[in-house]
A and B are shown apart, each in its own frame.
With several copies, the nearest count.
Chain A
Amino acid sequence: MTRNVRVQYFGILREQRGCGEESRETGAASPLDLYRELAGEHGFSLDPENLRVAVNDEFRDWDSILAEGDKVVFIPPVAGG
């Protein structure tokens, strides 16, 4: 089973991906699976344990279940302030 998700990138991930956003048909069931798939493809340097993940603008567990149309954002270590 696959689903369409929208992925947004910020900071160092946006630079490594070369774009701020993409839509994607994926077989990944969880954000963790999705990140591994994308990291393999684009060579992201960050390990998931240094990231957090948000789905539809809420923080979410890495092993939660993705649904059709979800907006997924991987969050590199923050540096505000």
Chain B
Amino acid sequence: MNRFTLSEKPLFAETLLAEAATPRAGAYVTFEGWVRDHNEGREVLSLEYEAYEALAVKEGNAILCEALDRFEVLSAQCAHRLGRLEVGNVAVIVAVTAEHRDAAFDACRYIIDEVKARVPIWKKEYYTDGESEWVNCPRCAAHAHRHHNHAHDHAHPRTAR
């Protein structure tokens, strides 16, 4: 089972849990991205997500399919928030079930890495000093580019683990 969704309304992990539950699953791993009160040394007040919705849903579902394909998982879902968010709000949730925890952790990690790198969603941060800025991560941009040029190379450069 896979499903990538975009939502203007607050996200709750319970929503994904209902779809994920199956008697075969022994492991359920979730990742939530929360709006932090700081980024790159600046104090964040709020932020705004904007998506190219048609392609974001398509690419998001492609990532979930890849995860189902590569890892021994039973379900993989991702929900991403759009619009204005405050500090502490949930920006994204990834939820994965598997028989065993190895696959659940690996797939959850894969999905959030790929979503951040490839799904056409943009973030504008609003700072406490009144300024605002479109945020982009050069590493992700480089990754997306590589992915684009070499469609069969999905490896993602992880930061130090």
- Taken together as a complex, chains A and B put the C-alpha atoms of A54 and B80 apart, in Å, by 21
Query: CA A3 – CA B59 in complex, angstroms?
Result: 28
Interface size of B by Cβ–Cβ distance < 8 Å? 34
Which B residue sits closest to A62, measured CB to CB? B148
A79 touches B135 (CB 8 A): yes
Roughly how many angstroms separate A57 CA and B118 CA in the complex, as a whole number? Answer: 14
A76's partner among B58, B118, B122, B145 (CB-CB below 8 A) is B122
Judging by beta carbons under 8 Å apart, are B134 and A12 in contact?
Answer: yes
Do A52 and B121 have beta carbons less than 8 Å apart?
A: no
Given A8-B52, A57-B55, are A78 and B148 also a contact pair (CB < 8 Å)? no
Q: Which residues of A contact B (CB under 8 A)?
A: 8, 10-12, 14-15, 49-50, 52, 54, 57-59, 73, 75-81
26 contacts between A and B (CB under 8 A): A10-B51, A10-B122, A11-B122, A12-B134, A52-B144, A54-B120, A58-B55, A75-B52, A76-B136, A77-B137, A77-B138, A77-B140, A77-B141, A78-B118, A78-B121, A78-B136, A78-B144, A79-B121, A79-B136, A79-B140, A80-B56, A80-B80, A80-B115, A80-B116, A81-B33, A81-B115
